[in-house]
Chains A and B, each alone.
Chain A
């Protein structure tokens, strides 16, 4: 591995945004046919470094060498022409265009001067099937689940014929099956001599797929491991710079009082049918299932974001079936949605304003507000949730994980009775993840009924006192904590 010359070398790469320095001289070599994991806490600079390699962002200082020649891509197109492909952390698909058009955007296959639609759709279908996704390539991307969109993004990158591929948190929205399909594709690319930079907060997958690990902290490379199967504990210590005792806190004992009850709930789009369950005060109720099982649709309906065709939702025995998010929020039922960019934050507004948007009623006195008052309100939560940023800073300038903390802060500031968390730790680093688990338990201890939807099985198992498993829109069963393990959950999920 080391005797071959690297495809890409970085030397002393620095990046500053105004007075803030986010990369302090990073050196990195990527060889053909190796998978290098780039790890680090939220805001460590992983995405920034990747964006520099892919021409999305320009470095302030430092040099790059590509196949022995100096390399300084002015824009993503230039990087792509050299053979650098990247999947961005945030989904960047065009919602109105078809799946096939998205996969081939900017490089449509042509035949005698015209767009060759058939070739394009065939290739797109083949690319998606390799990832285990069976969808019509001519349907628009709009309305597909986050997980499916993620797979399309991956298919797009895989068809680039890149010599270096950067995957920035490709599995954040994926379940186990899809992740394995992705890994098979990565193995294939590896054997073809493609170099891969792999960024993820799911440390278990790192050992399975990577040849080398590079750990970053606060914009600098702090440690390198020459193999992939490093104990997770060691990686975590390198990432956070201290040792971390445990991941999941102890579960509080739920009360006997039922807070939320769902009876015979069905959706007009048939995404889920006849769902029945109840959540007690102080209980953490997990919902597991494969991609497309209808989990997101179910919790969106419960919180008024999507319509309901039959059934009802009760809170403390009173019917509260919501018709809009406003209805649900008034009753103290809030949703922390799965896609933060589209549903969670306004990227070009400040952190304080974003936290304020769900709480304007509370911040206002007789309907009067000021920027200063919003700022003061938010400051508290920025500190409490450990958001790495200032209140006046735009949310778009935060790292992905810190944006997620802003979304959480915005909702938990409302002191709700029922909190529904859809993929609460998507893109969140280990240290912050365990603090979010602590927050969830705190909520439960205060008597809040919490519902957690997650594709991360370990997470659902770790935080829930009961787990409902969904399969193809139906409720496959509810498991008590004692009976729930990866085997029993997967058995129910795949029936």
Chain B
């Protein structure tokens, strides 16, 4: 079957099998390998992308279900050579080690800050609680997101559809 969607602001139109998972579509077919895969049971969150601005586990979404929607992956976070403050925050606060969970964590953070520019530590922890990081122990991830909140410019950064206003 054919599926059409917007990925990082670009229209894509591809032939897929109906059972094709979105994570495999993004990684194998579009070659956007920043989105990762880490479990069979929708527990790890390394596969998180934004669909219409909402964090979604792309391993539990059929590619067909994303048809007609706006998908954003980690590759779309940097705009015109400007890093998203979330990306900058993760570097500044050592929010990543192996970097495998990082794209998913950053996208969840992006969506959170779009809805709540000044989240408390508790809210941040709750927001990322559907995702696992085996390396950092989470404190530095929390600090990275707090860094981004403190450095967020007035303009909403990094959302390709502007749904966060």
Q: Do A and B come from one complex?
A: no
Residues of A at under 8 Å CB distance from B?
Answer: none
- Spell out B's residues near A (CB within 8 Å): none
